[in-house]
């Protein structure tokens, strides 16, 4: 079974600074997908960024980027120019290959990020 | 598109009562999921469905039942509610990689 570990329960960052959230995972699959989801106080789950394991290039979405290290099974999220609206719980999640027939996400426990003015 | 809608938003149940959490999506997605989120934890899969008439258990199915008679609807039934079922429940749907989540239902069992 796949497991996802987020070792930082809470983090804080000054507005406009950069912060990195860590995630490691365990799997025997060679192809899979990794995600970062954001959950603000509104409770809504919002997809931040996605990485396909077969791609060597790290995914980037505006101020959000990942550092994907497949051999180390590491998938960290970097948030640049942090904004107050980035304050939220961030969840790392794993998905097996879509056509394998089992597509639910496996989530880590989350990291609570506070952006301080 | 309304996306994924869930009702109710909040509910308090007494031990032993039963209820159904409703989930509807208007995106014609084949895949639908039910997760629960306990305080300070990530989401755990309760049940999922790959299409109308097909459901399967997730990581924490005990105490719950589901049905999928249409593509749009995926209700979650709690029988004999217990305090351990106090949680926030999320429904999600997908056509491929990206899962779209509903706003959640906060359930308290006293």
Task: Tell me whether strands A74-79 and A19-21 are parallel, antiparallel or unpaired.
Answer: antiparallel
Burial class (CB in 10 A: 0-12, 13-18, 19+), B10: exposed
Cα B28 to the center of its chain, rounded Å: 17
Residues of A in contact with B42 (CB under 8 A): 4, 91, 93, 107-110
Burial A72-94 (b: 16+ CB within 10 A, else e): ebebbbbbeebeeebbbbbbbbb
Per-residue model confidence (pLDDT) at position A46: 94
User: Under an 8 A CB cutoff, do A104 and B58 touch?
Assistant: yes
Mutation choice for B interface testing from A104, A108, A110 by most B CBs within 10 A: A104
Q: A90 forms bridges with which residues in the sheet? A: A38, A111
Give percent above pLDDT 70 in chain A: 95
Question: What's the average model confidence in pLDDT over A20-46?
Answer: 93
In this predicted structure, the answer to whether residue A77 has a pLDDT above a threshold of 70 is: yes
Query: How many helices (DSSP H) and strands (DSSP E) are in chain A?
Result: 0, 12
CA distances from A59 to A10, A52, B42 (A): 24, 9, 23
Residue B88, chain A, CB below 8 Å: the answer is yes
Q: Degrees (nearest 5) of the Cα angle B26, B30, B31?
A: 100
Q: Which of A28-42, A84-98, B63-77 has the highest mean pLDDT?
A: B63-77
Q: A19 forms bridges with which residues in the sheet? A: A79
Task: Tell me whether strands A24-26 and A33-39 are parallel, antiparallel or unpaired.
Answer: unpaired
User: Which sign, positive or negative, has the C-alpha torsion A45, A24, B39, B105?
Assistant: positive
Residue A44, chain B, CB below 8 Å: the answer is yes
pLDDT tier at A4 (50, 70, 90 boundaries)?
Answer: very high
Give B32-78 pLDDT, tens digit per residue: 999 999 988 889 999 999 999 999 999 999 999 999 999 999 999 99
H or E element, residue B35? strand B31-37
H or E element, residue A36? strand A33-39
Q: Which of A76-80, B28-32, B41-45 has the highest mean pLDDT?
A: A76-80
Q: What is the DSSP letter of B73?
A: B
Of B50, B96, B101, nearest to A45 by CB-CB distance is: B101
Q: What is the DSSP letter of A58?
A: P
User: Under an 8 A CB cutoff, do B96 and A98 touch?
Assistant: yes
Which residues lie closer than 8 Å to B15 by C-beta, 6 or more apart? B81, B82, B83, B109, B110
Instruction: Work out how many CB contacts closer than 8 A connect A with B.
Output: 49
What average pLDDT is seen over chain B? Answer: 94
């Amino acid at each position: 079974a796949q497991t996802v570990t987020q070792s930082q329960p809470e983090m804080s960052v000054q507005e406009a600074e950069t912060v990195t959230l860590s995630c490691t995972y365990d799997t025997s699959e060679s192809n899979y997908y990794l995600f970062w989801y954001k959950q603000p106080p509104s409770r809504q789950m919002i997809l931040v960024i996605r990485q396909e394991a077969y791609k060597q290039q790290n995914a980037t979405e505006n101020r959000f980027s990942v550092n994907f290290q497949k051999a180390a099974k590491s998938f960290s999220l970097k948030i640049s120019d942090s904004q107050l609206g980035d304050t939220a719980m961030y969840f790392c999640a794993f998905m097996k290959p879509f056509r394998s027939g089992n597509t639910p996400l496996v989530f880590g426990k989350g990291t609570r990020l506070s952006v301080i003015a | 598109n309304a996306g994924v809608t869930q009702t109710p938003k909040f509910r308090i149940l007494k031990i032993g009562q039963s209820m159904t959490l409703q989930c509807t999506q208007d995106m014609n997605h084949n895949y639908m999921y039910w997760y629960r989120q306990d305080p300070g934890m990530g989401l755990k899969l309760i049940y999922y469905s790959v299409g109308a008439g097909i459901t399967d258990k997730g990581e924490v199915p005990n105490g719950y039942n589901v049905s999928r008679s249409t593509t749009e609807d995926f209700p979650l039934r709690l029988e004999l509610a217990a305090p351990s079922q106090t949680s926030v429940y999320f429904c999600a749907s997908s056509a491929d990689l990206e899962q779209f989540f509903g706003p959640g239902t906060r359930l308290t069992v006293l």
